[in-house]
Chain A
Amino acid sequence: GAVVSQHPSRVICKSGTSVKIECRSLDFQATTMFWYRQFPKKSLMLMATSNEGSKATYEQGVEKDKFLINHASLTLSTLTVTSAHPEDSSFYICSARGDRAYEQYFGPGTRLTVT
């Protein structure tokens, strides 16, 4: 399958700071990218969907001003957690989909710990 990378894989930051997570599709053009969040022992929860060059569509209950998503190119999307708090500590996973809707691939995830 196609490869999706995320960087960093782990990050620890202090409360009140902002953290940027990058998601790249390495061998295909991702017209749509998705950001998920996963708490321990829970399932993945979709946070937002973004199409290249458009504003992201956020799921109900997800603060768009806190979780800034940029999908500036067909191979890169970023998620910025602004003014992070300990409750934002989670496993963040991106996913990319190309022209063929049935092909959707996931990154390895980024574990964020806010102290």
Chain B
Amino acid sequence: DAKTTQPPSMDCAEGRAANLPCNHSTISGNEYVYWYRQIHSQGPQYIIHGLKNNETNEMASLIITEDRKSSTLILPHATLRDTAVYYCIPRGGNEKLTFGTGTRLTIIP
């Protein structure tokens, strides 16, 4: 499994874009980059995933560098409900989802 590095914590002002970085320099060619988040005392929630192209859905955008060694999750207009721990997880095919320590994002009113 590819190892990931995420900042342990970040703050973002409400209404601003939250940009969460992730380094995954050992990612292999068949591994997608998945992002999940966990709000306090709840199960993780799927956000988005991508292989090499940038992706966007109703929750977020995912920017993957051309060499695939890092990615950034963008929450375009952060709200207080976006306060959570965000996990970046490389995963290929039917592999297990292995959670690292993630980034604790706090949205400031």
The tally of residues in A whose CB lies under 8 Å from a CB in B reads 24
For B101, the chain A residues whose CB sits under 8 A away are 43
Interface size class of B (residues with CB under 8 A): 20 to 34
Centre residue among A6, A34, A109 by max chain B CB count within 10 A:
A109
Pairwise interchain contact B93-A101, C-beta atoms closer than 8 A: yes
Determine the residue in chain A with the shortest Cβ distance to B97.
A104
For A95, the chain B residues whose CB sits under 8 A away are 43-44, 97
For B98, the chain A residues whose CB sits under 8 A away are 46
Please name the 8 residue pairs, one residue from A and one from B, whose CB atoms are nearest each other, closest first: A106-B43, A44-B99, A43-B99, A106-B44, A93-B43, A109-B43, A101-B94, A108-B43
Give residues in A with beta carbon < 8 Å to B: 1, 4, 6, 32, 34, 36, 43-46, 49, 91, 93, 95, 101-109, 111
